[in-house]
């Protein structure tokens, strides 16, 4: 852990702990490695600001870096400006957001890319109160950049002048006006906002006081009064005694508003001493031994190369990543597996495909899992997947959910459409970095919020389970099919962006956007953006298709045979409901 600008030094009075050692007791800090920076209010403001500026300078343009940082603020007030770059998590260590306060800006800009925020990925803020001196802040991001468990005393802009393609906000209170600007789509869940201004293609709200009413398709607002079943992401905090703990919020049903309105919500407060604290050099074998002993797992910032999966076999285990901790599957291995056990949480990770094809990167429950977990569902929160980009990646399926009653809350599953041009590391070809499906759901009664799946070569999402629910879906089709003949699902032109299997009798998805940018061959046609059985129990609502770039590719129908073509000359189409 770093104290101020000295990486690797313990905070004053603290003790150092090796990977997997017990966390600190009362009044002392754990050693979370050199890439976790912990501030407390007694530290000199100038030194804190210098450290924040140094991290941002390193990470501002670091689109495909291996560097990872977590910046943590103990309870207190801080007069600092925090600009959040790539692969940086900034979080408060209070029990509620108002216990750690930034008297300044906590923001994301797109200055490095001339105002274009389309690739402002992989960063996060959570559990802080922000009081900007001018009453306004900015969070100009696209995918994989959650704004979670926040209090902002002011207005919030979600763009920086150029295009942006976000985004996710949850469990947050924004006192002022949110201006979405150029955001193509955005999902906001369980919050309170002063007002919302702006819309482009797909804006969805669930359990948000102050949200605009449903008016899809013009403007394209979808507002639902509550989230039917949700569990908030666990978070680190420091108790009044000085003890470090992780709080895992309890399941909420028909949830409205923020979870922390009356203080710390219902849930489990777990001492950090019950966590195995891993670093990137920790062997997977040691991590699995700790998990088998019943330890929870905290993955400190960095890149973990795993030739065998991390195995989560015990009920109610919490796996929490800091600073977008990253698992890279090596030798065709799975990166992480979860048994068919209740109450497991996996949160805050990026999972990368390696150069040898992995049949599955992450598996939740073995195939054929059928236990009933409705009383204690597992949670997947802020999980991101990447195939290709700056290195070759291959995975047949990124995420396979076989267990029942799983909740997913903010997933971005991405086959890369670009690499690191500045360094010459570009590995995104149709035959170079390959992936069939982003997501396969075999389990019944799975509920997903804010699902983003992009650029896979067959079905982006394939849903085989019964009674599935998706609240907000964003998809961009692959850019790189070389021809129509190379991209056929049997006799059907193209592979649907969201496919519900023919045997399914009940399914519901709402707030869906499917976009075509078929730059390798703009004459390619996708027959239907969404496909599903033609029966009353399978329902799709508020569906949008767009042919990007002025018409690079055609989506002939929105759902099955319904709806007009998104094509050159008529680039956006909408469908209110199907059937």
The b-or-e profile of 166-182 (16+ CB within 10 A means b, else e) is: bbbbbbbbbbbbbbbbb
* Residue 162 CB neighbours (<10 A): 15
Question: Annotated catalytic, 476?
Answer: yes
- Classify residue 22 by its DSSP letter: P
- Say which of 109, 363, 476, 531 is annotated catalytic: 476
Are residues 107 and 130 in contact, defined by beta-carbon separation less than 8 angstroms? no
Cα radius of gyration (the chain):
22
CA 186 to chain centre: 13
Are residues 413 and 438 in contact, defined by beta-carbon separation less than 8 angstroms? yes
At CB < 8 A and 24+ separation, what contacts does 466-470 make?
466/504, 466/505, 466/506, 466/507, 467/506, 467/507, 468/441, 468/444, 468/500, 468/504, 468/507, 468/508, 468/509, 469/228, 469/507, 469/508, 469/509, 470/498, 470/508, 470/509, 470/510, 470/512
- Classify residue 23 by its DSSP letter: P
Contact partners, residue 442, CB within 8 Å, separation at least 6: 367, 400, 401, 402, 464, 465
Helix (H, G, I), strand (E, B) or coil at 52: helix
Strands annotated E in 455-522: 461-463, 468-476, 488-489, 492-493, 498-500, 507-516
Sequence length of the chain is 579
Contact partners, residue 274, CB within 8 Å, separation at least 6: 295, 296
Are residues 365 and 340 in contact, defined by beta-carbon separation less than 8 angstroms? yes
- Classify residue 137 by its DSSP letter: E
Residues classed as catalytic: 476
């Amino acid at each position: 852990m770093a104290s101020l600008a000295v990486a690797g030094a313990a905070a004053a009075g603290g003790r150092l702990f090796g990977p997997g050692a017990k966390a600190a007791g009362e009044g002392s800090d754990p050693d979370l490695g050199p890439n976790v920076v912990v501030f407390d209010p007694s530290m000199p403001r100038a030194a804190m600001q210098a450290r924040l500026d140094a991290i941002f300078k390193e990470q501002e343009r670091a689109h495909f870096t291996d560097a990872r940082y977590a910046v943590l603020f103990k309870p207190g007030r801080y007069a600092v400006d925090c600009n959040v770059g790539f692969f940086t998590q900034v979080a408060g260590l209070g029990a509620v957001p108002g216990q750690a306060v930034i008297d300044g800006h906590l923001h994301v800009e797109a200055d490095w890319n001339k105002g274009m925020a389309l690739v402002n990925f992989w960063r996060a803020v959570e559990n802080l109160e922000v009081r900007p001196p001018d009453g306004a802040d900015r969070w100009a991001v696209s995918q994989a950049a959650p704004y979670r468990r926040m209090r902002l005393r002011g207005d919030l802009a979600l763009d920086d002048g150029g295009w942006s393609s976000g985004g996710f906000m949850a469990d947050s209170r924004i006192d002022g006006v949110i201006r979405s600007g150029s955001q193509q789509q955005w999902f906001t869940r369980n919050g309170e906002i002063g007002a919302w201004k702006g819309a482009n293609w797909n804006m969805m709200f669930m359990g948000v006081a102050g949200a605009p009413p449903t008016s899809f398709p013009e403007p394209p607002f979808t507002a639902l009064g509550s989230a039917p079943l949700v569990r908030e992401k666990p978070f680190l905090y420091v108790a009044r005694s000085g003890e470090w703990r992780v709080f895992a919020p309890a399941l909420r049903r028909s949830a409205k508003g923020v979870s922390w309105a009356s203080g710390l919500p219902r849930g489990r407060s777990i001492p950090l001493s019950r966590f195995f604290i891993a670093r990137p050099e920790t062997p997977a074998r040691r991590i699995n031994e700790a998990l088998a002993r019943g330890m929870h797992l905290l993955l400190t910032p960095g890149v973990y190369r795993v030739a065998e999966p991390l195995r989560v076999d015990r009920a109610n285990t919490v796996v929490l990543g800091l600073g977008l901790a990253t698992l890279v599957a090596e030798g065709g291995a799975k990166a992480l597996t979860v048994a068919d056990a209740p109450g497991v949480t996996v949160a805050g990770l990026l999972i990368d495909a390696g150069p040898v094809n992995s049949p599955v990167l992450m598996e939740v429950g073995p195939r054929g899992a059928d236990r009933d977990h409705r009383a204690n569902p597992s949670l997947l929160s802020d999980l991101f997947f990447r195939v290709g980009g700056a290195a070759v990646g291959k995975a047949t399926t990124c995420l396979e959910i076989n267990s029942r009653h799983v909740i997913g809350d903010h997933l971005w599953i991405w086959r890369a459409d670009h690499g690191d041009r500045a360094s010459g590391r570009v590995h995104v070809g149709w035959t170079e970095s390959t992936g069939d499906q982003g997501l396969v759901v075999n389990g019944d009664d799975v509920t997903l919020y804010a699902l983003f799946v992009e650029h896979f070569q067959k079905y982006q999402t394939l849903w085989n389970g019964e009674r599935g629910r998706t609240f907000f879906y964003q998809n961009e089709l692959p850019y790189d099919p070389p021809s129509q003949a190379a991209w056929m699902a049997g006799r059907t032109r193209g592979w649907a962006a969201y496919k519900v299997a023919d045997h399914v009798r009940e399914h519901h998805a709402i707030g869906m956007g499917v976009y075509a940018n078929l730059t390798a061959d703009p004459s390619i046609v996708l027959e239907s953006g969404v496909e599903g059985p033609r029966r009353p129990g399978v329902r799709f609502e508020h569906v949008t298709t767009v042919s990007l770039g002025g018409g690079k590719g055609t989506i002939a129908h929105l759902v099955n045979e319904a709806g007009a073509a998104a094509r050159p000359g008529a680039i956006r189409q909408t469908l209110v409901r199907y059937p």
